[in-house]
Amino acid sequence: MRVSVLRLGHRKGRDARVTTHVGLASRAFGAGRIILSGDRDPAIMDSLRKVVENWGGDFGISYEGDWQAFLKGFSGTKVHLTMYGLPVYQVVEDLRQGDGEVLLVVGAEKVPGLVYELVDYNVSVTNQPHSEVSAVAVFLDRLFKGRELHREFPEGKRRIVPSAKGKEVIMQPRAQGGLPGND
Amino acid sequence: MRVSVLRLGHRKGRDARVTTHVGLASRAFGAGRIILSGDRDPAIMDSLRKVVENWGGDFGISYEGDWQAFLKGFSGTKVHLTMYGLPVYQVVEDLRQGDGEVLLVVGAEKVPGLVYELVDYNVSVTNQPHSEVSAVAVFLDRLFKGRELHREFPEGKRRIVPSAKGKEVIMQPRAQGGLPGND
């Protein structure tokens, strides 16, 4: 199953860190790409690309000015994460039956009502206010049944060795050799 | 099991939204309270209190200037969430055996090395960079085995009725009567 995340309504400045965290959580929990919409914000795209370069995998990062056209044109299953939606545990099994492409839609502060209509599912990860970052992460963790926590991210420059007390990071020789002084 | 979250190193301005999201995710996913440290930031505490007032439950919000003393003095199990730690799925069963109090420690940008030593567990939710918001949420979802998604938050003014297409919110009569015009 390939999951894309569409981040709606990004506002430069105000949403910078939350949008970056949405991107990082999307990647870490197994989505294949993020599509940013709202204000165009090259700094965020660069910072996400840098994470991919350093930590590996082939997570895609792109910008889409016309999110309505993108959403309408997407041929897979469209899921909007919203505290008003149906509980994730009620719909996740249905979603796993699908043939592959899933688009997760997450808003910033205000999501246009049209989004609720254009998607196949409005899904809540709790009906309490929290964060698009936690909604994406918990949704993906449940969709993939935790398998994404065992995933390898190939071709990164760095890899962590899990440690009880400290920080152990392996610098990968291949990338180190290939990109000298680029750290 | 009662879980408290200690948010280290909050920086006013820069961390405002991420710290707020950490607080909201802590509450939504079943923690009992958050203790903020770093810059004192009454606006964040107010905004979290407002969520509790509107959406219910008894989530506690406090500030602790001396996080080292607090961490040393905490008598339950101390868990630091860090991408460098041991995988959550390796330690979560141990944590469930404990007698009750768990302190989750999450940092902002840089976490002092001392934290790694003062806690009982350094735990990773993936060894990839993502966000303290998603780390808290996925950790709690796994610790509570998803039970927190079925939790009721009593005494709130508002309650969502999960809906396939729209927004359905019930204004609770008790609180409405008690606090007229306070919305």
B166 contacts A88? CB cut-off 8 A: no
Three-state DSSP class for A26?
helix
Q: Please count the other Cβ atoms lying within 10 Å of the Cβ belonging to residue B13.
A: 7
Cα A93 from chain centroid?
20
Rounded to two decimals, what is the model's pTM?
Answer: 0.94
**pLDDT interval class at B174 (50, 70, 90):** low
Least CB-CB distance to B163: which of A28, A122, A138? A122
Above 70 in pLDDT, residue B175? no
Mean of pLDDT over chain A: 93
Query: For residue B171, with 0-12 CB atoms within 10 Å meaning exposed, 13-18 middle and 19 or more buried, which class applies?
Result: exposed
pLDDT for B180 beyond 70: no
Percentage with pLDDT > 70 across chain A: 94
How confident is the model over A26-66, as pLDDT tens digits? 999 999 999 999 999 999 999 999 999 999 999 999 999 99
> A28–B149: do the CB atoms touch at under 8 Å?
no
Q: Does residue B122 carry a pLDDT above 50?
A: yes
Whether residue A75 is predicted with pLDDT greater than 50 in this model: the reply is yes
User: Looking at residue B172, what is its pLDDT?
Assistant: 82
Looking at chain A, which residue has its C-alpha nearest residue B50? A129
Q: With 70 as the cut, is the pLDDT of residue A183 above it?
A: no
Q: For each of the domains in chain A, give its residue range(s) and CATH number, in order of start.
A: 2-151 (3.40.1280.10), 152-183 (no CATH)
Task: Determine the pLDDT at residue A180.
Answer: 41
The torsion of the CA quartet A104, A107, A113, A117, rounded to 10 degrees, works out to: 0
Residue in A closest to B51 by C-alpha: A129
